Amino acid sequence: MILFGIPGLTLIALGVATGLVAFYLRIVEGFGFRPLLYLVILLVTVGTLFFLAGLLAEMIAGLRDELDYIRRRYSDGEGQTSPPSERP
């Protein structure tokens, strides 16, 4: 989550800050600046994608750890259903 989550949240925050500046320029100053709007859309979209990629990677890592635990448990013989006296 650190690799993609923090940059994603940073890009989202930059997008929101840029959006506030664009809103200020549009409402208070009275002129619109379309490239600034495109920058807001780009930052928020890419930030969201980065954050979701980090979340997905974290979920995959958790599943991998769980699968490794299950494999170790079954390779040690703990997961067998036969009684302990019948084990070789």
Confidence class for position 15, pLDDT limits 50, 70, 90: very high
| Mean pLDDT for the stretch of residues 23-41 | 91
- 38-62 pLDDT tens trace: 999 999 999 999 999 999 999 999 9
DSSP sequence for 4-50: HHHHHHHHHHHHHHHHHHHHHIIIII----HHHHHHHHHHHHHHHHH
